[in-house]
Structure 1
Amino acid sequence: MIRRILALVLVLGTAATGAAAQRIETALVAGGCFWCVESDFRRVEGVIDVSVGFAGGRTENPDYNAVTRGGTGHLEVAQISFDAEAVSYAQILHLFMRSIDPLDAGGQFCDRGESYTTAIFATPEQRAEAEAAIARASAELGQPVVTPVREIAAFWPADEYHQGYAYSSELVLTRFGPLTRSTAYGRYREACGRDARVREVWGEDAPFIRH
């Protein structure tokens, strides 16, 4: 049943904008590297846009270097805008929980530290759905998950360099020499072990991994 539901909401290309009668809502989630969350959710039918940035900390308008150094309290987040007539908030959270390692409180995969920890930032109206998503994930895994539901927080967008990184043809200098950002992203994701660990945790229920 879960696989059939996922088949209805996943597409292989970029997200479609859906029919004219849209009911646009947003989800704010922290899933480790925000490039990866953006890349995953751009593939979901009904998702209109994904922006990456920071939330949950103490400083206003933080930049990437400050957040990753630590001390700001911010997490890397993705703000997902979606057409609720095409995909529900509950479905977005179902996919999100199965795209991360919700058993890891110290970061995600090779990225360690507070800024890479996971969370669902929920409005009062979203909280019940968010808590239900946590409960379902915990029941499926047979153990408590550490991903918390946090109160909605201000979203501070990252600079343009980080937006759409996984899809960019712009060149970036890496230890392998100059590569497009999309190629550099692919190498980073594989080296970081994200997909391998998600597959280990979720098996066939990992929606963004080809098995």
Structure 2
Amino acid sequence: MTDEIPKEKKTYEVATFAGGCFWCMVKPFHKYEGVLEVVSGYTGGHVPNPTYEQVCSETTGHYEAVQVTFDPSVISYPELLDIFWQSIDPTDAGGQFGDRGSSYKTAIFYHSEKQKEQAEISKEEMQQKGPYEEPIVTAILPAAPFYRAEEYHQDYYKKNPSHYNRYHIGSGRAGFLERHWKKS
């Protein structure tokens, strides 16, 4: 008989970010240790269980967003915020890159007062020290019900890499991010 010590129960947290087309918001988070899952979906609107077509009609109030489940003992919420900022144009009030309309606007949906405070601090630091001259318009909003998008949208960059890469470049996102976040 061995004396097994029960494994410590892990506590995971959730972060929700809207950064334009959710296809382009999954890959940036997936590569980090401590990120357990990244789900594409819809949040912030008034229609329960919306479809992609409904959200694209700009009548539901929903944002395309990703919900990130993470282990805060491995990767912190402020680190996720840094990933988010480096994946978007936070100065664009009309959408993101080639995608226009309210469903493509940027937002941070906080799940606790601590996340709200960290998001506000991060936004202020990005405005003061980040690479942007224009005002940052990314909203910081309370988390709302999150509806998982259709299965064909999940992990799109893995399922359709050629189309994803063409879209990532063709939309202008890749070039913008490289110009603003080029590593020295």
Matches within 5 A, 1:109-128: 109-125=97-113, 126-128=115-117
* Larger-gyration structure (1/2): 2
Question: 1:43 corresponds to which residue?
Answer: 31
Q: 1:99 aligns with which of 81, 87, 92?
A: 87
Residue identity matched to 1:82: F
Q: TM-score, normalised by structure 1?
A: 0.78
Number of residue equivalences: 175
**Is residue 69 of structure 2 the alignment partner of residue 90 of structure 1?**
no
**In structure 1, distance between residues paired with 2:108 and 2:44:** 11
Question: 1:148 corresponds to which residue?
Answer: 139
In the alignment, is the contact (CA less than 8 A) between 1:54 and 1:62 conserved in 2? Answer: yes
Deviation of 1:187 after TM superposition, in Å, equals 1.1
Structure 2 residues without counterparts, runs of 5 or longer: 1-6
Q: Does the residue aligned with 1:41 lie in a helix, a strand or coil?
A: helix
Question: 2:166 corresponds to which residue?
Answer: 187
Deviation of 1:199 after TM superposition, in Å, equals 2.3
**In structure 2, distance between residues paired with 1:201 and 1:51:** 26
Deviation of 1:87 after TM superposition, in Å, equals 0.3
Report % sequence identity: 41
Residue identity matched to 1:115: S
- Cα RMSD of the aligned pairs, angstroms, is 1.7
**In structure 2, distance between residues paired with 1:182 and 1:20:** 38
Matches within 5 A, 1:1-211: 22-125=10-113, 126-140=115-129, 141-168=132-159, 181-204=160-183
Residue identity matched to 2:35: V
Q: TM-score, normalised by structure 2?
A: 0.89
What does the per-residue CA deviation read over 1:103-157, in whole Å, with 9 as the maximum and x for residues that have no partner? 1010001111110000000123211011111111111235520001011111000
Residue identity matched to 2:121: A
Compared CA separation, residues 109 and 20, structure 1 to 2 (3 A): farther
Q: Which runs of 4+ in 1 moved over 4 A?
A: none
Structure 1 residues without counterparts, runs of 5 or longer: 1-18, 169-180, 205-210
In the alignment, is the contact (CA less than 8 A) between 1:97 and 1:133 conserved in 2? Answer: no
